[in-house]
């Protein structure tokens, strides 16, 4: 796993989302600032800010001056933010989120750790699984109480020229009773422990912008 010496991280991304509604391509930059703040600035197809703090997700559209705050059961249930940023936390931050390690399995040369969720998530999640090979995470999975796969994040194309190493691509699969969503995310221009832009570190909503609160 990536060690916890990463204080800041910035990485550009191109994310292709495929669902029954069709395909969507967005581009932007993902920022991390220790201990757990994640800010994603989308620049295409429209400017959008996504600010993750704890279990809350704030989405702001500057052109429309509209903002929405989503309150989630658990930050780990927000796959895009967690899929990359989880790498800078030991065990993806599962223990910090209330998960308990219950089992270690070995499949060929892959170590699989199995985690039980906190009580607040048990009606939705039965367990999480992490696959690790040669100190690199291969996948992160969540299963529902019936044993069906809810989310799988697959890590590919690790950048061995970086210290610490980070993936250059992730695949995310999400499934619910009425839909399937697949994300193919490619990362570039990784900046580790560099000073983040002030628009990120000092991000606040402009005066006069009301926030509509919704449940995730």
Beta-bridge partner residues of 52: 38, 57
Per residue in 87-110, pLDDT tens? 776 678 788 788 999 999 998 889
Look at residue 4 in the predicted model and tell me its pLDDT. Answer: 46
Beta-bridge partner residues of 49: 41, 60
Domain ranges of the chain: 8-215
8-215 maps to CATH 1.10.287.3510: no
**Six token digits for residue 70:** 């989503």
Classify residue 113 by its DSSP letter. Answer: E
DSSP string, 66-96: EEEEEEPS-GGG-HHHHHHHGGGSGGGGTTT
Q: Which helix (H) or strand (E) holds 128?
A: strand 127-133
Look at residue 75 in the predicted model and tell me its pLDDT. Answer: 56
Q: Is the pTM of this model over 0.75?
A: yes
Look at residue 149 in the predicted model and tell me its pLDDT. Answer: 94
Look at residue 71 in the predicted model and tell me its pLDDT. Answer: 76
Question: Which residues of the chain register pLDDT less than 70?
Answer: 1-4, 54, 72-86, 89-90, 215-216
């Amino acid at each position: 796993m990536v060690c916890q010496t990463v204080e800041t991280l910035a990485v550009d991304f191109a994310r292709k989302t495929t669902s029954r509604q069709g395909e969507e391509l967005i581009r932007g930059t993902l920022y991390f600032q220790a201990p757990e703040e994640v800010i994603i600035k989308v620049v295409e197809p429209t400017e959008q800010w996504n600010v993750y703090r704890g279990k809350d997700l704030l989405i702001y559209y500057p052109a429309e001056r509209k903002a929405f705050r989503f309150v989630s059961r658990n930050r780990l249930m927000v796959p895009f933010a967690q899929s990359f940023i989880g790498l800078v936390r030991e065990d993806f931050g599962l223990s910090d989120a209330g998960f308990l390690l219950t089992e270690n399995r070995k499949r060929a040369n892959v170590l699989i750790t199995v985690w039980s969720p906190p009580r607040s998530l048990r009606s939705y999640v039965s367990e999480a699984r992490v696959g690790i090979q040669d100190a690199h995470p291969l996948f992160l999975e969540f299963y529902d109480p019936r044993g069906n796969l809810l989310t799988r994040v697959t890590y590919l194309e690790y950048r061995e020229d970086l210290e610490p190493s980070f993936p250059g691509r992730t695949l995310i699969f999400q499934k619910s009773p009425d839909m399937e969503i697949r994300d193919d995310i490619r990362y570039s221009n990784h900046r580790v422990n560099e000073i983040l832009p002030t628009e990120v570190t000092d991000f606040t909503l402009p005066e006069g912008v009301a926030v509509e609160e919704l449940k995730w």
